[in-house]
Amino acid sequence: ELTSALVHLKLHLFIQIFTLAFFPATIWLFLQLLSITPINEWLLKGLQTVGCMPPPVSSAVILTKAVGGNEAAAIFNSAFGSFLGIIITPLLLLLFLGSSSSVPFTSIFSQLFVTVVVPLIIGQIVRRYIKDWLERKKPPFGAISSSVLLMIIYTTFCDTFSNPNIDLDKFSLVLILFIIFSIQLSFMLLTFIFSTRNNSGFTPADTVAIIFCSTHKSLTLGIPMLKIVFAGHEHLSLISVPLLIYHPAQILLGSVLVPTIKSWMVSRQKKLLQTRGPLANLNNPEGLEYLSIKFGH
């Protein structure tokens, strides 16, 4: 499935460009308007860091699978986006918030390599030798990874709110919460509109993967990145708050919308299967979409 998903270059380009270019650039423009409001400026900078983050490895894939979308494309783009994020996200953070960072560029990449890439490589090597044992014993890695993620979130919250110098007013926090949900809904709607145009060439299953992969942001990569890029920064706690809110918000919002998106996808697929006209012209994207549903993507 992953191999067949590799050839769908248009889908991958759409997701990666939306996630790592359109998303942060749009947030930057939006923040130029918000800068004249009384919202805490470091929370606004935190919103910009959210826009620069890569897609998560798990949540977008889980929600795409729950709807019945193109799971292989979701897996590929989540994994590929995470790898791209190791290089591109620090560049974006330095581009949009460069004056806030005092850590040398080479140090950022070396620490990210040791924190993210090295454990991944070691894990893949070790897995080759203990694969049979893993399949036989089935260790509770799901529960372990969830516990570690919960610990990361908890310790970051502790770091944030145990800081006696933190200047976080309730008004700013409530507004940021509202803005985050608004941003997610707006971008989900935008990706839906873009990917369902007549000449888009995307199937309903592709659209599902696009909606989730293009709008979700990684907390597990995001928090280590922020701690490395803004190491020693006095406002690191406030900068981290929007990402800490965005992660559970995207899972909550995605879970609520799963039945609605699934209902749309099923009805759209039935409509395409009942249509015989597109088969007359295979150069028509609708004809190709029909065949991909009829005979497998």
Q: Return the higher-pLDDT residue of 51 and 162.
A: 51
CATH, domain range 1-295: 1.20.1530.20
Residue 280: per-residue pLDDT:
44
Mean pLDDT calculated for residue range 167-194: 90
User: What is the per-residue pLDDT across 197-229, written as a single tens digit (0 to 9) for each?
Assistant: 878 788 899 999 999 999 999 887 888 888 888
Q: Which of 269, 274, 293 is nearest to 261 (CA)?
A: 269
Q: Are 49 and 71 in contact (CB under 8 A)?
A: no
Q: Which of 278, 91, 252 is nearest to 185 (CA)?
A: 252
- 289 to each of 55, 81, 204, 284, how far by Cα in Å? 26, 25, 8, 9
Contacts (Cβ under 8 Å, ≥6 apart) of 92: 20, 24, 51, 52
Among the residue ranges 22-26, 97-101, 140-144, 223-227, the one predicted with the least confidence is 97-101
- 240 to each of 204, 247, 286, how far by Cα in Å? 35, 11, 44
- What residue type is assigned to position 171 of the chain? F
Structure tokens at 283: 């150069």
Q: Which of 296, 231, 232, 230 is nearest to 269 (CA)?
A: 296
- Annotated domain spans of the chain: 1-295
Mean pLDDT calculated for residue range 262-291: 67
> What band does 163 get if pLDDT is binned at 50, 70 and 90?
confident
**Torsion sign (Cα): 246, 252, 258, 259:** negative
User: What is the per-residue pLDDT across 10-53, written as a single tens digit (0 to 9) for each?
Assistant: 899 999 999 999 999 999 999 999 988 888 888 999 999 999 99
**76 C-beta neighbours (distance < 10 Å), count:** 24
Q: What is the DSSP letter of 55?
A: P
Contacts (Cβ under 8 Å, ≥6 apart) of 149: 219, 220
> What band does 83 get if pLDDT is binned at 50, 70 and 90?
confident
